[in-house]
Amino acid sequence: MAYVLQVDFKLEGPFGDEMADAFHDLAKSINEEEGFLWKIWTESPETNQAGGIYTFETKETAESYLEMHTKRLAGFGVTDVNAKIFAINSKLTAVTNGPIK
């Protein structure tokens, strides 16, 4: 069973193409995390929020990544992190074209 990690936090920017340029190397490094499957990057310049929807192979790898990521964000001065982990219902997700096998 795969798991979703949903994360959001306040961010003053950058957003859009500037965010893509600034976080390109970080994005590539996420691919190396244990149990990582994929991520959708989220942003809202109107509310100064950013985050992502991640999928991991196991709940344990999602929890481990969240612990590491929360510490990394704190190093950037981001301390108010909202995060939730959910199990994925793969049968229903397949019906709605979700990229989970």
Q: For position 8, which CATH number holds?
A: 3.30.70.100
Helix, strand or coil for residue 90? Answer: helix
40 belongs to a structural domain:
yes
pLDDT number for residue 100: 79
Q: How many CB atoms lie within 10 A of CB 92?
A: 10
Please tell me the pTM assigned to this model.
Answer: 0.91
Question: Cα separation of 53 and 48, whole Å?
Answer: 17
Residue 39 tokens, joined: 């991520």
Residue with structure tokens 């490094």? 29
23 belongs to a structural domain:
yes
54 belongs to a structural domain:
yes
101 belongs to a structural domain:
no
Residues of the chain short of pLDDT 50, as ranges, are none
100 belongs to a structural domain:
no
Per the CB < 8 A criterion, the answer to whether 84 and 58 are in contact is: no
Query: What is the total count of domains within the chain?
Result: 1
Q: How many CB atoms lie within 10 A of CB 8?
A: 19
78 belongs to a structural domain:
yes
The domain in which residue 49 lies consists of 3-95
